[in-house]
């Protein structure tokens, strides 16, 4: 089981998915893919080329030509890319273009993958699914601190508004919307630190794996 374990983690922005995914990947010795980086890399390339991220055909062409190495760029987490990535992620043709890469990523050794539709669309049969969320105020505060820590000036209210807007866009699109899979284990990270989130997740995962064994 361990060699092909797939842990699917979905949830809204700034809920703590990434930190948890990295720790779980390390713990289980699995590769980790932050699938948001794929959408961010498509958006970044379009912005660089002066293309309109809302242009579906151009976004699809960019997604099809994406080199996965582009997800390692260090300029993918800016507010400008946040907005553009949410737009390209709403385009069904972009989602279709990125699907095969995501599935192949886990084919050899399993994976921990985090995003919005991993447990619902990419790996609906994943044995372990987590839906990681937190109250909007907690998520806004976290994102604000993260931006401040990276020296990016931000206004806390504006950050909260942007997160709410992106959440709405991600949850209301017709294809691959953010939603909790019925069999996903719920983890609310409000008021928890990363260690507490990790411990809570491990307990739930152990129980789920035991019930599947």
Q: Which stretches of the chain bind ligand DC, using CB under 6 A? A: 13, 35-36, 39-40, 85-86, 89, 115-118, 166, 170
Would you say 175 or 209 has its CB closer to ligand DC? 175
Token representation of residue 76: 């993918």
Sequence length of the chain is 213
> What are the two backbone dihedrals, phi and then psi, of residue 173, each rounded to the nearest 5 degrees?
-70, 150
CA distance 183 to 211: 13
* H/E segment holding residue 106: helix 92-107
CB 206 → ligand DC: shortest distance, Å? 25
SS3 185: strand
C-beta separation of 39 from 113 below 8 A: no
Q: Radius of gyration (Cα) for the chain, nearest Å?
A: 17
Token representation of residue 139: 């998520």
C-beta separation of 57 from 42 below 8 A: no
> What are the two backbone dihedrals, phi and then psi, of residue 168, each rounded to the nearest 5 degrees?
-65, -45
CB 117 → ligand DC: shortest distance, Å? 5
């Amino acid at each position: 089981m361990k060699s092909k374990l797939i842990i699917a983690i979905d949830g809204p922005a700034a809920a703590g998915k990434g930190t948890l995914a990295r720790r779980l990947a390390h713990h289980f010795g699995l590769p980790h893919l932050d699938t948001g980086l794929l959408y961010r890399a498509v958006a970044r390339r379009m912005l660089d080329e002066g293309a309109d991220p809302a242009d579906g055909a151009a976004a699809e062409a960019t997604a099809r030509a994406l080199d996965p190495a582009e997800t390692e760029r260090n300029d993918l987490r800016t507010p400008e890319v946040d907005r553009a990535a949410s737009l390209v992620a709403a385009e069904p043709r972009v989602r279709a273009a990125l699907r095969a890469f995501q599935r192949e990523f886990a084919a050899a050794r399993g994976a921990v993958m985090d995003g919005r539709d991993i447990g619902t669309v990419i790996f609906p049969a994943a044995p372990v699914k987590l839906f990681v969320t937190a109250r909007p105020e907690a998520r806004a505060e976290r994102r604000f601190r993260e931006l401040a820590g990276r020296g990016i000036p931000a206004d806390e209210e504006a950050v909260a508004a942007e997160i709410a807007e992106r959440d709405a866009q991600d949850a209301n699109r017709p294809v691959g919307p953010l939603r909790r899979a019925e069999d996903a284990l719920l983890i609310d990270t409000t008021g928890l630190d990363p260690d507490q989130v990790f411990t809570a997740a491990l307990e739930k995962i152990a129980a789920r794996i035991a019930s599947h064994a």
